[in-house]
Amino acid sequence: MRWRLLGPVRLIGDDGVETDPGSGKQRCVLAALLMTPGRVVPAATLIDRVWGHAPPRSGTPLAPYATRLRRVLGPLLGPDVLRWTAGGYLLDVPPDRVDLHRARRLIHHARAAATADDHQRVVTLLSGALEHWQPVALAGVPGAWADRVRAGLARERLDAIAQLGRAGLRLGRAEEVAQRLTPFVAEYPTAESLVAVLMSALAEAGRPASALETFARARDAIADRLGAPPGPELAELHTSILRAAYRRQVPAQLPAAAPGFTGRAAELAALDRVTAGEPRPVVITGPPGIGKSALAVHWGHRSRAAFPDGQLYLDLRGFDRRRTAMSAADAAGNLIVALDPGRPLPTGLDARAGLLRSLLAGRRTLLVLDNARDAGQVRPLLPGSTAGVVVVTSRDRLTGLVASHGAIPIALDALTDAEARQLLANRLGARVAAEPDTVAALVAATGGLPLALVAVAARAALPGGQPLAGLAAELAGAGLDALRGADPATDPRTVFSWSYRALSPAAARLFRLLGAHPGPDLDAADATALAGADARAALAELVAASLLTERRAGRWAMPILLRAYARDLLTPAERGPALARLRDHRRRAGVLVPVRALRLSR
């Protein structure tokens, strides 16, 4: 049998069955006796606790309540459990069978463990003390005395919760402590010891802005309810967090946004929805030069206010032939340094990934992982919590990340003609409106590929740069060579080559052969004919690398400039037999295609 005071007053059997001690005053008599079990409580004291300043005129007001309590308790605990002796009543109960006294004993031992720096034992003891401690003690007990006891026990409970939080901080569990204490502080905003622990936890978890917001709410509540400012301990803690936050370097690593960014309204809206709901990773994919990085960076700058704890950016070099792809361990190390400069880096990917998750936990950060090679490179870098947003860009579709982490895929296509004209207008001004036919030819020649459009605008914007008509004529005649520049990062041919060289031999061969195909799109049978063997696996690889797009079911297309690049790679020794195989396939299939188209496609 055990007794409950830390909630509705009850006797609870070993089988969990609860016994109600009776009416309000009867409960009050029992609660007054359980406050000092095994000791005589004078009748005058009991009368004062039950009736306060308005005692009844009867000479024996307690007797009826004692009689009724004996009827309830006698069958369970024996007739002598409650007896009159020495001018008062005694409830013969071991103190450790009363939840309040057991909790106080555990709290006493926890204080001793804290003095001995045994913080894990502190957590164990206090967790046991608080396990069954309900928010309202002596529930259902009326009277002023019960109200005073309830208020005191509520303070004891909050003090124990604060002590448990401090022990958790000593064990390095700041984020866990913050999550545990947040609802308590929301309910008791004037409990300064509790507020102080939550503020410390938030600051140690790397969320000083949230710590300062917590102080502001507590300060307002204390002023409204108590008419006073916060105490010196809380005020000093606020000052120290404020100073540390001022010194703390909030990462702002996004590169400069692309000038003249235009279009992508639907994609920007999809990114905005991620911050409005439960954050999930976002994967932006598409062919080389389509503007994946530009979209991620533009949105990051536009949404800066949503990420007060910083914006992280890392080029993973997944498709950069000038440098090797960054390992996940190196990437995690770079992010750790950005978040906590000066912290020693652990060795090994697992240790770094774990520390990175700890540093990101609860932080409202944006993490842009640009130019990812595959899902395996990205997965160790993802945070464990959902407070921030991760945006990944890749030429690979990263379907593994979509499957394992519920990433939201955003596939980019070429700009519309209107968007392409606007991009050129943003870069070149009134010249675009003055030459609409020439601009239309430039847009058509670039296929709406942002990288090519930017290269065209750069050539035209240089002092003494080419007229737009001259650029259009050069593009019509020289193709990709007209867009060649000194910077490999903005040379379409070089950028395309980084994806091409990552292909398997079979997929690379099919990519070249597709440059000879005469139509706007093709099916798997056409691809197999060009390759002279089953091409389905190679087609799937090209789609995964964003070098082909399935425009409609079973029909694939390649952007204009990628087709031009594929044609340039194709050798005469490959072109002739491939076209012959395609011609034979189409004749057998009864597809009427001019032989001239098949012969001259180059």
Q: For residue 28, what pLDDT is reported?
A: 95
What CATH number does the domain containing 339 carry? Answer: 3.40.50.300
Residue 543 shares a structural domain with residue 559: yes
Share of the chain above pLDDT 90, in %: 56
- Tell me what pLDDT residue 104 has: 95
Same-domain status, 67 and 187? no
Residues 433 and 576 in one domain: no
- Is the domain of 271 the same as that of 399? yes
Say if residue 121 is in the same domain as residue 60: yes
State which residues form the domain around 200. 172-248
Average pLDDT over residues 51-77: 88
Task: Flag whether pLDDT at 151 surpasses 70.
Answer: yes
- Evaluated on CA atoms 546, 552, 555, 557, the torsion sign reads negative
Residue with more model confidence, 68 or 549: 68
Domain boundary residue among 493, 521, 547? 493
pLDDT digits (tens, 9 = 90+) for 271-282: 999 988 878 899
Residue 57 has pLDDT above 70, yes or no: yes
Which strand (E) or helix (H) includes residue 439?
A: helix 436-446
103-113 pLDDT, tens digit each: 999 999 999 99
Residue 311 and residue 250 in contact, taking contact as beta carbons nearer than 8 Å: no
Could you tell me if 8 and 146 lie in one domain? yes
Q: Are residues 396 and 536 in the same domain?
A: no
Spatial separation of the C-alpha atoms in residues 269 and 266, rounded to whole Å = 5
Q: How far apart are the first and last CA of the chain?
A: 92
The CATH code of the domain that includes 63 is 1.10.10.10
Query: Which pTM was predicted?
Result: 0.58
Residue 253, in any domain of the structure: no
Q: Is residue 552 pLDDT above 60, yes or no?
A: yes
Contact (CB, 8 A) for 410 and 284: yes
pLDDT at residue 246 greater than cutoff 60: no
Query: Residue 499 and residue 319: Cα distance in Å, rounded?
Result: 6
User: Can you read off the two tokens belonging to residue 589?
Assistant: 């299939």
What is the domain count for the chain? 5
Residue 217 lies in a domain: yes
Separation between Cα atoms, residue 297 and residue 198, nearest integer Å: 34
Alpha-carbon distance 210 to 269, whole Å?
A: 27
CB of 443 closer than 8 Å to CB of 417: yes
Do 203 and 113 lie in one domain? The reply is no
Structure confidence at residue 599 (pLDDT): 42
**Extended strands (E) in 9-143:** 10-12, 18-19, 40-42, 82-85, 88-91
283 and 407 assigned to the same domain:
yes
Instruction: Answer yes or no: is 165 within a domain.
Output: no
Collapsing DSSP to helix, strand or coil, 54 comes out as: coil
- 258-299 pLDDT, tens digit per residue, is 888 899 999 999 999 998 887 889 999 999 999 999 999 999
Arithmetic mean of pLDDT, 177-195: 94
Nearest residue to 540 via CA among 520, 554, 552? 554
Looking at every residue in the chain, the average pLDDT score rounds to: 89
Q: Identify the CA nearest to 535 among candidates 518, 554, 561.
A: 554
Question: Within this chain, do residues 31 and 126 fall inside the same structural domain, yes or no?
Answer: yes
**Residue 138 confidence (pLDDT) above 80:** yes
Q: Between β-strands 555-557 and 549-552, what pairing exists: parallel, antiparallel or unpaired?
A: antiparallel
State the CB neighbour count (10 A cutoff) for residue 2: 16
Q: How confident is the model at residue 600 (pLDDT cuts 50, 70, 90)?
A: very low
At 190-229, the pLDDT tens digits run: 999 999 999 999 988 878 888 999 999 999 999 999 999 9
The owner of tokens 């190390």 is 333
Instruction: Check if the beta carbon of residue 423 is closer than 8 Å to that of residue 298.
Output: no
CATH code at position 202: 1.25.40.10
Residue 595 has what pLDDT? 42
Identify whether the C-beta of residue 430 lies closer than 8 Å to the C-beta of residue 468: no
Residue 254 maps to a domain: no
The set of residues, in sequence order, having a beta carbon less than 8 Å from that of 510 and lying 6+ positions away, is: 527, 530, 531, 535, 538, 539, 542
Answer with the residue of higher pLDDT: 122 or 501.
122
14 and 136 share a domain? yes
Count of C-beta atoms within a 10 Å radius of residue 28: 24
Residue 257 lies in a domain: no
> Which tens digits make up the pLDDT trace of 445-470?
888 899 988 888 887 877 666 788 88
How far, in Å, are 67, 443, 600 from residue 478 at the CA level?
109, 16, 18
Distance CA 511, CA 459 (A): 29
- State the average pLDDT over residues 132-150: 94
Any domain includes 110: yes
Q: Is the pLDDT of residue 598 over 60?
A: no
pLDDT at 222: 94
Mean pLDDT comparison of 26-40, 237-251, 354-368, highest-scoring range: 26-40
Residue 47 has pLDDT above 90, yes or no: yes
Q: Which of 136-145, 372-381, 549-558 has the lowest mean pLDDT?
A: 549-558
Report how far residue 471's alpha carbon sits from residue 440's, in angstroms, rounded to the nearest whole number.
12
Point out the domain boundary residue: 465, 493, 521: 493
Q: Which residues contact 395 (CB under 8 A, 6 or more apart)?
A: 285, 286, 287, 288, 292, 318, 319, 499, 545, 546, 547
* Pair 506, 567: CB distance under 8 Å: no
For residue 214, tell me if it sits in a domain: yes
State residue 464's pLDDT score. 64
Q: Is pLDDT at 128 greater than 50 in this prediction?
A: yes
- Residues 340, 489, single domain; the answer is no
Rounded distance between C-alpha atoms, residue 559 and residue 445, angstroms:
11
Last residue of a domain, one of 248, 276, 292: 248
pLDDT band at 313 (very low <50, low <70, confident <90, very high): very high
Q: Establish if 189 belongs to a structural domain.
A: yes
Considering only residues 128 and 550, tell me which one the structure prediction assigns the higher pLDDT: 128
